[in-house]
Each structure stands twice: as C-alpha cells, then as structure tokens.
Amino acid sequence: MTTYDFTPLYTTSVGFDRVFDLLETANQFSAGDDWPPYDIEKTGDDKYRISMSVAGFSENEVEVVQEQNTLRVNGSKSDVPQGELLYRGIANRSFAVVSSLPTT
C-alpha cells in the first residue's frame, strides 16, 4: 500500500485542511483484503491460534483446509434470511482467506 505525506501542502494552501485530512483518512483503509478480520497468535514454540470473525456463518458454511504450509479458509453464504430484513449490519458475502504458515 502506498502512503502519501500531505504535510508540505498544509503550509502552501489555505482553507484545504479538511480536504487533506479526508485524504489522509482515506489512505489508511486497505482495498478490502482484510475481510473477514482475523488474528494470528503464537501460543508456543510451534503452536499458533487463529481467530476469525465470521458473524452470520454457521460451522458447516466455513471450510478450513491446510495443505503443506498454506492455510485456506473459505466461507460460502447462500441462504436468504427469513422474513423482512429491515437492516443489514452483518456482511452476507462469501470469502476466501489464504495464508502461508511459518516454516520451522
């Protein structure tokens, strides 16, 4: 991800402080590669714990596959909620996360 420093522009322009603040804030977000959010925790010399937030998915809708030193997590969601949905706050989209595991 490329980062830009807008500091020199603050001293040469008047009235654009808010625009530069918005640009800096927008620059902090990634392109969506971090969904769903997850943590990798080292619990021992050769032990790791991966926690993934997959709200709205049941256990049979998430597939976890380990092949050599690669971990792949897929989630597929195809059901439509029962009743009338008034607000959607939980993402209802499929995902795939692939991560290389550390080698010893």
- Structural domain spans, the chain: 1-31, 33-100
Question: With a threshold of 0.75, does the pTM exceed it?
Answer: no
> Is-contact 93 32, C-beta < 8 A?
no
pLDDT single digits (tens) 3-57 = 666 666 666 666 666 776 776 666 554 455 567 888 888 898 888 888 888 888 8
CATH topology of domain 33-100: Immunoglobulin-like (2.60.40)
**Which of 54, 93, 65, 97 lies closest to 77 in space, CA to CA?**
93
Confidence of residue 60 (pLDDT cuts 50, 70, 90): confident
pLDDT single digits (tens) 67-93 = 888 888 898 876 666 778 787 777 777
